[in-house]
Amino acid sequence: MHTVWKGSISFGLVNIPIRMFTATEHRDVRFRQLHSVCSTPIRYAKTCPTCDREVDASEIVRGFEYEKGNFVIVKDEDLERITPETRKAIEILDFVELSEIDPIYFEKSYYLSPQETGEKAYALLREAMRQSGKIGIARLTLRNRQSLAVIRIYGPAILMETIFYPDEVRSVAQVPALPADDVELAENELSMARQLIENMSTTFDPSQYTDLYRQELHELIEKKLEGQEVAAAPAAPKANVIDLMQALKESIAAAEKAGIDKPARLKTDPTGADQTGNKPSAAPAGTDQPAGRKKTTTKKLKRKKSGT
């Protein structure tokens, strides 16, 4: 598992160094959005409509919209000044009964394990909580957000579950069209409903429940792979790294295919005169032709190659 947070649990004067691991994960089948023409994944760019250009991450700041179109800019240093000092500690405030907390408050679960020097204190807290049957109510700062959490035992581990604050749980009074508690019900219908509940009652076994849609989706994808119904995005352009030997081979092959060969050089004597006795002359302006070298026509080159 990947460590998502390091800190400590503190209760009373006891301080336990711990590591935190995410206890749950979503197993949804995730799809990428592709361009239907070439099957390339779509890229989402952050753009500024005023400047009409893509914006780099270094140019982006936080802003709180206090009214439509007006913002208060909040910088990293502003947040640092108000981040609580307990940001690296899970501070246990109280111990309560688990049955006193409605499941609607629970948000996300994390496993806690001791760091190198915290094994004994960790085991002490775990056993004391197990014997008491209590769970801890704690406070911590996680990802620059102060959270409320419960600390409880889960098998051999101490588990932390973040919970919502009371003002984050919407009132049930906001739910429309709920029937009143005094709705008149037929006794025979109520009796049959209770009997149905009794007949369907069992011991909770999480292994008996599977995501059928996800399972069928995996089967669909496997069938498409077996039938080679796959779409491959074109390869991304690579950096222009040249293999010199390969470049030379390709150049020679291209030259041979085009019937082009290197121009034959005329021998020169020590005085610089060529076989005709002419002295080298300067190349015409604007050409790469070296001084004293005459252009050889393709026709002459072909004759030289054939030995004529």
The share of the chain scoring above pLDDT 90, in percent, equals: 55
pLDDT band at 296 (very low <50, low <70, confident <90, very high): very low
Angle at 105 between CA 102 and CA 110, to 5 degrees: 115
Under the banding of pLDDT at 50, 70 and 90, the label for residue 270 is very low
Long-range contacts of 290-299 (CB under 8 A, 24+ apart): 292/268, 293/265, 293/266, 294/266, 295/263, 296/263, 296/264, 298/259
173, 270, 302 from 307: Cα distances, Å: 104, 27, 9
- Pairwise pLDDT comparison (255 vs 61), residue with the higher score: 61
Q: Looking at residue 266, what is its pLDDT?
A: 41
Whether the pLDDT of residue 242 is over 60: the answer is no
pLDDT band at 251 (very low <50, low <70, confident <90, very high): low
Phi, psi of 140 (to 5 degrees): -155, 165
- Could you tell me if 135 and 96 are in contact, meaning their C-beta atoms sit under 8 angstroms apart? yes
* Confidence label for 299 from pLDDT (cuts 50, 70 and 90): very low
CA–CA distance, 57 with 208 (Å, rounded to integer): 46
Q: Render pLDDT for 277-287 as a digit per residue (tens, 0 to 9).
A: 444 444 444 44
Q: DSSP assignment, residue 294? A: P
Q: Is the pLDDT higher at 264 or at 181?
A: 181
- CB atoms under 10 Å from CB of 110, counted, come to 22
Higher pLDDT: 287 or 1? It is 1
How many other CB atoms are there within 10 angstroms of residue 138's CB atom?
23
How many Cα atoms within 13 Å fall on the side-chain side of residue 63?
10
Residue 114, number of CB atoms within 10 A of its CB:
20
Q: Where are the domains of the chain?
A: 3-25+82-168
pLDDT digits (tens, 9 = 90+) for 102-137: 999 999 999 999 998 899 999 999 999 999 999 999
Segment 205-232 mean pLDDT: 86
pLDDT at 237 over 80: no
Average pLDDT of 290-295? 43
Q: How much is the pLDDT for 172?
A: 94
Q: Please, what is the average pLDDT of the chain?
A: 81
CATH number for domain 3-25+82-168, candidates 2.60.40.10, 3.40.640.10, 2.40.290.10, 3.40.50.300: 2.40.290.10
Which pTM does this prediction carry?
0.66
Model pLDDT, residue 247: 65
